[in-house]
Amino acid sequence: MSGAFRIPGAGRFSQAKTARFSFDGQSYAGIEGDTLASALLANGVHLVGRSFKYHRPRGILSAGAEEPNALVEIRRDAARKTPNVRATVQELYDGLDAQSQNRWPSLSFDLGAVSDIASPLLSAGFYYKTFMWPKAAWKTLYEPKIRAAAGLGVSPDQPDPDHYSSRYAHCDVLVLGGGAAGIAAALAAAETGVRVILADEQAEFGGSLRFESGAKIDGQDGFAWAQAAVAKLAAMDNVRVLSRTTAFGYYAQNFIGLVERVSEHLRTPGHDLARERLWQVRAKRVVLASGAIERHMVFADNDRPGIMLAGAARTYLNHYGVAVGRNVGVYTANDSAYAAAIDLKKAGVNVAAIVDLRDNPTGPVIDEARALGIEINFGRAVIRAGGKLRVSSMTVQPKNGGGERTIAVDAILMSAGWTPSVHLFSQSRGKVAFNDETKRFVPGTYAQDCVSVGACNGTDGLSATVDEAYAAGVRAAKDAGAKAAKSSKPKVDASESWSRGMLGAAPGAGPDTTVKAFVDFQNDVTAKDIRQAVHEGMRSIEHVKRFTTNGMATDQGKTSNMHGLAIAAEVLGKPIPEVGLTTFRAPYTPVTFGAIVSHARGPLFDPTRRTAIHPWAEAQGAVFEDVGQWKRAWYFPKAGEDMHAAVDRECVAVRKTAGLFDASTLGKIEVVGPDAAKFMELLYTNPWEKLEPGRCRYGIMLREDGFIYDDGVVGRLAPDRFHVTTTTGGAPRVMNHMEDYLQTEFPHLNVWLTSITEQWAVIAVQGPKSRDIIAPLLEGIDMSDEALPHMSVREGKICGVPTRLFRMSFTGERGFEVNVPADYGQAVWEALWAEGQKHGAAAYGTEAMHVLRAEKGYIIVGQDTDGTVTPNDAGLDWAVGKKKPDFVGIRGLTRPDLVAKGRKQLVGLKTRDPKVVLEEGAQIVEDPKQAIPMKMIGHVTSSYWSENCGRSIALALVAGGRDRMGETLYVPMPNGVIEVEVTGMVFFDETGGRLNG
């Protein structure tokens, strides 16, 4: 058996094809085609969760994506656990394992429900007003307890083992929504020959045709027509049909994000099958056919399990063959709930009574309900529901007051009307308009090339919907370039129509009601909370939303927004349009991170770049760090060494003998052309026209605002050729920066830019013995001080390989940088390494490089600068050409704030205790005894232990730093205040004599 509440012969799936599943460890049977929700209801299970704040028992409310209550965890194995899955959209498969969430120790007995008793302390905005004393208890007691008690599912704690895919697609017409409107629009557009994509979030197309039992189109049952039409579309070469696909975001220029659930419905997906697929679609025209969402009735205890939307109950009956109860009550303010009552009555379910807020409504469905012997109570309201873990009764009273009557029921179906689903329209930046007659927000002013049709456009009735949608499809195809359309508009033979309804709290849920009447089920927001927010000063609906959290849950208020808006408008005494509607933002429904990143996860999240010398460093046991996309050798530990010992040894080796360093990651750009020097003059602060070929110069690049953008050494290889180096992380943006200026500001210059970062491997050989190591391997270059002075470049050969040899230093020692074609990088490194062993050379990594450069006061852009540092602030005023008439940033340097006294300047710091190493980022103050918040005058940018200096050293940006030489300042830290002295930036070899050996 597939469940005691399964109606034999009902529904659209074979009841012979069963599927076993478990919920909270209990085994049940469903049928293939079920959702988890329909299968649970078929087995009489209504209690499926606990609410967010009060931990109240909650049941299934809806049959679609708007579900706020039935959120469960789906488990495939220890690594495949997905929280917050809506049971109403999770397709059943044999072996599915689902668990309820946010309860302890069990779903039926949840100790967290004590918060319902304490609810007076947890009213709207309580976190702003309650638990204010003692102040220290908020972080240690109140906040941890509140966060532990609230919440939904628990995020997985293991890496996601599934894989995801992505596709880009272009089409002429994209139709979002696979109900009657979407299918009609897709047919109309497809028959013209344009490229069409039709997408729907459900497994089966049809939309409301899944539950409309009386719909007839082209002489067929409405749902059968939908399946035949979709099959016809799928067979057309110009059409792509996507089921199980949600449009989650509508972005600029008709760019739509879709997520297709590829294998979530399969018991054992193949290893080569993606879990989900991200579609990024650009469409010439978009047809929005997203339907409407039924609203619940706001009355006391309207959240009891067994209380659900009338349309959902009808879907479970007509589509899945499941009765949601045996003795059902109906509470409505429009005609649609009558259709649910009629279908249930015909299926053999007892309908205890229909309670209709309206006084004397008339219509065919009312007449049919009366003819079936269903009791109808006009002008009455359900003022409360009975029961706890399952609804057991509804108490009815005339809406204007009077005697009460309690009716026993095991389910209540409710309908306050239907709200057009304008979420995607709103995301497109369209402006909604309020229809005073139907009391609904509908699409108003369009911002993109799209059109809304059917229920999401406020159109009532199947016949009107199909006519409107078909015409829209023809028009969209024509606008996209179609020349002619065939005429085969579907004919609606029979349909249902309903509109109107009510907004806000129902009678019996007014300001005097003490029992909770829920507006937002997922976030436990009541009608009282909305009123309280307004009374406490919230006037904007956006403020009301945030104060109460109405509409801020994972369902984005799909069922609650209009009710909350109406209640706020009533309290404010304003019309609903004046109060406004909250902004809908992507995603429409939750989207997994895996789907968004697709293949770009794990090692593919970002490209990993390795230098030609990486294998050698790896074989030597180097520890690597990530620098941008590059893997760089951080340090080279020997047996028994920790990082500190290894770095100390490397630094001493460089100063004592020599060190080899892989500098291949530095950005390298060739600037070539007759106007190359002019271009360099404009991009850098210092002069280049008179730089002789074969010489190098340190250059600074500024932004327009005068702040340092990047730096590096530039070598002039020929009158028309410069070899520019950049920081490792800055290489791509500097290349883009230079190209941008060349194309937009200086297009008259005859210059070519080429990124050569990966063309050249760079081996820095630094230290007193550096020349002795390189010279035996070099051909065609004189390395004497006279022939190759500091800041020079020569071209020749090393180990028979072409080289560009720079004499330059980032350590303060005699140094060279050997550039060779990357393919020969490791071979040349190994040759230099072998030669270096004769002199006691060591390999050193990026950490030693940082220490060595800090000992000499050399800055690193991005570490010692923060985007607000000028050359003068960094002590690099000497690198700015004083006579240059123009360069990028020259005007920025003259701004008053950039030449004002008291600017932060880069200086050195020495701790009074030489063994204390400051933390980078630590703040600096003048008076450590001042009251909090203290006045911060600077921060530490670089800080290291220097074995060569025998003490700690640091660089810092300090207000008026160069005027504070010798002053004592303070660095407050959690373990005490550290006393520091302001010094110059050079800590080792202050005269600079070691540059020349």
Q: What are the sequence ranges of the domains in the chain?
A: 119-148, 165-292+420-494, 503-574, 606-633, 663-836, 895-996
Q: Contact 324/241 with Cβ under 8 angstroms?
A: no
d(CA 11, CA 211): 10
d(CA 78, CA 719): 65
pLDDT, position 151: 66
CATH (residue range 895-996): 2.40.30.110
State the average pLDDT over residues 437-452.
93
CATH (residue range 165-292+420-494): 3.50.50.60
d(CA 326, CA 146): 39
pLDDT, position 879: 95
Q: Residue 1: is its pLDDT beyond 60? A: no
Q: Which residues pair with 725 in a beta bridge?
A: 668
Q: Residue 412: how many CA atoms within 13 Å on its side-chain side?
A: 35
Lowest model confidence (mean pLDDT) among 112-121, 362-371, 391-400, 667-676: 112-121
DSSP labels, 348-401: T-EEEEEEESSSS--SHHHHHHHHTT--EEETEEEEEEEESSSEEEEEEEETTS
| Per-residue pLDDT reduced to its tens digit, 894-905 | 999 999 999 999
pLDDT, position 583: 81
What are the Cα distances from residue 462, in Å, to 184, 215, 289, 310, 366?
11, 8, 13, 18, 19
pLDDT, position 777: 98
Q: Residue 498: is its pLDDT beyond 80? A: no
pLDDT, position 436: 86
Q: Residue 205: how many CA atoms within 13 Å on its side-chain side?
A: 30
CB count within 10 Å of CB 437 equals: 8
Tell me, what DSSP letter sits at residue 628?
T
Percentage of the chain modeled with pLDDT above 70: 97
d(CA 735, CA 726): 9
d(CA 648, CA 945): 8
pLDDT, position 867: 92
pLDDT, position 119: 67
Q: Which of 3.40.630.30, 3.30.1360.120, 3.60.150.10, 1.20.120.920 would CATH assign to domain 663-836? A: 3.30.1360.120
The CATH architecture that domain 503-574 belongs to is Orthogonal Bundle (1.10)
In this structure, are strands 923-924 and 938-946 parallel, antiparallel, or unpaired?
antiparallel
Most confident of 497-506, 570-579, 593-602, 859-868: 859-868
Q: Residue 62: is its pLDDT beyond 70? A: yes
State the average pLDDT over residues 222-247.
96
pLDDT, position 487: 66
Q: Residue 509: is its pLDDT beyond 90? A: no
d(CA 677, CA 772): 34
pLDDT, position 150: 64
711: pLDDT confidence band, cut at 50, 70 and 90? very high
In the chain the first and final C-alpha atoms are separated, in Å, by: 91
Q: Residue 937: how many CA atoms within 13 Å on its side-chain side?
A: 18
pLDDT, position 194: 96
pLDDT, position 377: 96
- Percent helix, strand and coil across the chain, each to the nearest 5: 25, 30, 45
Percentage of the chain modeled with pLDDT above 90: 80
Longest Cα–Cα distance of the chain, Å, equals 112
Q: Residue 674: is its pLDDT beyond 90? A: yes
pLDDT, position 874: 96
Q: Contact 711/705 with Cβ under 8 angstroms?
A: no
